[in-house]
Amino acid sequence: MSAIDERFKQLRSAGKKAFLPFVTAGDPSLPMTARLLEKLSACGSAIAEVGIPYSDPIADGPVIQASYTRALNAGIKLKDIFATVREVKPRLQMPLVSMVSYAVIHRMGMDRYVAEAIASGFSGAIVPDLLAEEADDLRKVCRREDFSLIHLVTPTTSPDRMLKIAELSSGFVYFVSITGITGERNELPPQLLEKVTWLRERVEIPICIGFGISRPEHVRVLAPVADGLIVGSAIVRRFAEIADPELALAGVEQLAKELIAALQPDAIPV
């Protein structure tokens, strides 16, 4: 079992849901990324996603795209991201997952990427531009190393394909809540609960919902049908829009605490 599997096993035993924040590595700097991860871990985040900046992000909205551009313009390198994660991971109480383009993995080589990711402290990867049906080679490497390979399903994925993707995934299934790109939304699709519930009733693997989640009311609505909720753009934006680093950290910490509080069972309407 990977550290992701262990974490969901612990959460299910305790009757809790997972809060999964997303951060962009190197925005505004790798030392600040390390401090942000420490804050999010101390708040009670279950797992964190670390975005590996890439020039052609897949499905990322303007907030995350801009953060990737800032990091790349600052000269961020994958080896530096791995070094930062290796340094900060012993101080974290949560597993880390890399959100990474397959182009990055392919260029490095699957075996080397997984080996170096594990050595630095990552426990899995989300590869949004790699179809589950085309991931057999990478999946073999990940399974051999107990490294979770998390696939995505969307509102337009057919029921049969949803089940197949869930079967091929490890760690958890990333359920994209909306069609389109990442970003904060005022409202989430009314059919979302029905679709997640349908899949939840048919698979054992944890299901985490992402895209568009930014408010406690979103969390309260979705928490009853999901094993975890992923929040990205709201965190990246809050961190980016405040110039003072200490105030930015405090702002993200406050948002995380509000969203984690909304995940508690006594905060979920029956």
Residues annotated as part of the active site: 49, 60
Contact 34, 89 (CB under 8 A): no
Q: Tokens at residue 196, please?
A: 């997640």
Radius of gyration of the chain (CA): 17
Q: Is 39 left (phi over 0), alpha (psi -120 to 50) or beta?
A: alpha
Half-sphere exposure of 115 (CA within 13 A, CB side): 5
Q: What angle do CA 126, 184, 237 make, to 5 degrees?
A: 80
In contact, 60 and 13? CB cutoff 8 Å: no
**Residue 126's closest CA among 185, 203, 38, 51?**
51
